[in-house]
Structure 1
């Protein structure tokens, strides 16, 4: 995803920012995991394979892998302004109200992604795939 900032007087590009989906996914995962009541992200089968490939690539380059399983970033660069949709699969604690936790995740993720990238997600979809009987969440 590219963002061009133009000088208002001359229309000449001053800066070009390139923000990749894995960066947005890492911000999303971190923000979701900081919400009280979230026990873990649920990557699913496809997400697990993608997450393992991402982790292997980062280990080869000597970087610590960022857990992003359970997060999908859908970008749309076809319009004038780029847009992103985020999909998060997670497990909550049985000690917390699931709907409230999902709503708090939506708010925390929207805020974190906007602050870190300057892009406001058009949608943040939270799917609760499991309610854990153990642990109290974060």
Structure 2
């Protein structure tokens, strides 16, 4: 296409997979927590996999929305008890926003982190 502008939007499941990897790679994060919405997504994904033989990247605990305000990512996590949970949450926000922007070229307008569990250190 010569002289035309090409527009591209990365699909929410791809963004969710990138966000999931970034969140679980953040120090202090024990795991993603699917919660009730995430469990429904797991069931939907499992059904889709059966019909299409696809094996999409795990995204349980991550939700992505495009709104008038831009790209919003919600991440539900469990953290390790070593260190302040709020610091881990802020680090997840930064890591997710950076990775999504770097890998997709789409800036993230907000990352909402919900800490649903604190895992004790053994």
Find the partner of 2:15 among 24, 36, 43. Answer: 24
Q: TM-score, normalised by structure 1?
A: 0.78
Q: TM-score, normalised by structure 2?
A: 0.87
Residue of structure 2 in register with 1:3 after alignment: none
Residue of structure 1 in register with 2:101 after alignment: 114
Is the partner of 1:18 in helix, strand or coil?
coil
Structure 1, gaps ≥5 residues long: 1-5
Q: Size of the alignment, in residue pairs?
A: 122
Structure 2, gaps ≥5 residues long: none
Query: Aligned-pair RMSD on alpha carbons?
Result: 2.1
Moved over 6 A (4+): none
State whether residues 55 and 66 of structure 1, in contact with CA within 8 Å, keep that contact through their aligned partners in structure 2: no
- Structure having the higher Rg: 1
Residue of structure 2 in register with 1:94 after alignment: 81
Q: Deviations over 1:21-67 (max 9, x none)?
A: 11111110110000111011111112111123124323543333321
Residue of structure 2 in register with 1:124 after alignment: 111
Alignment of structure 1 residues 1-138 onto 2, 5 Å: 10=3, 12-13=4-5, 15-76=6-67, 83-134=70-121
Structure number having the greater helix percentage: 2
Higher RCO (CA 8 Å, separation ≥ 6 residues): 2
